[in-house]
Structure 1
Amino acid sequence: MTDDQPTVPIVCPACETTTRVPLPSVGDAVERHNESVHDGESVAEVDPAVSERLADLVADDMGLLEDG
């Protein structure tokens, strides 16, 4: 792992924590936290603001936001 990898904020409202993890590790980090701390319940997640922004960028890139 290198220092120049983008990181993504992971939030857990139940634990009142936010941590940043390298992009390739996001899925594993969220799953590991939820399994070990919340008995598998989906509590921790990628920061919703980041998820929404990524969804907008993907939709724009795919042309889904163009008027038709």
Structure 2
Amino acid sequence: MADEETDEPTVPIVCEACGTDTRVPLSELRETLETHNEHRHDGEEIAQIDPVIADELANAVAADLGLYGAEDDG
């Protein structure tokens, strides 16, 4: 049920255990991961956001929060 009129970003998810490599809308990310892991892996967190993207996202959030460059007083 993809709505092509929305500009919602998608996030890549991977599950090496069962070969899943797909993209899902950001608004559906949590539910998709939980559902996949619950149904295919007895709730164990096997499927995840692509690790490269997760690292980039964590770095961007840390930068936005001012956690980088704290010693740079301008």
TM-score above 0.5:
yes
The gaps in structure 2 that reach 5 residues or longer are: none
The gaps in structure 1 that reach 5 residues or longer are: none
Question: Quick one: which of 1, 5, 8 aligns to 1:5?
Answer: 8
Amino acid at match of 1:2: D
The TM-score with structure 1 as length reference comes to 0.91
The TM-score with structure 2 as length reference comes to 0.85
Aligned Cα root-mean-square deviation (Å): 1.2
- Within 5 Å, give how 1:1-68 maps onto structure 2: 2-3=3-4, 4-68=7-71
Q: Which gives a bigger RCO, structure 1 or 2 (Cα 8 Å, sep 6+)? A: 1
**Structure of larger gyration radius:** 2
1: CA distance, partners of 2:25 / 2:39: 20
1: CA distance, partners of 2:23 / 2:36: 13
1:13-68 C-alpha deviation (Å, 9 max, x unpaired): 10122111000000000000000011111100011111100111011111111041
Identity of aligned residues (%): 50
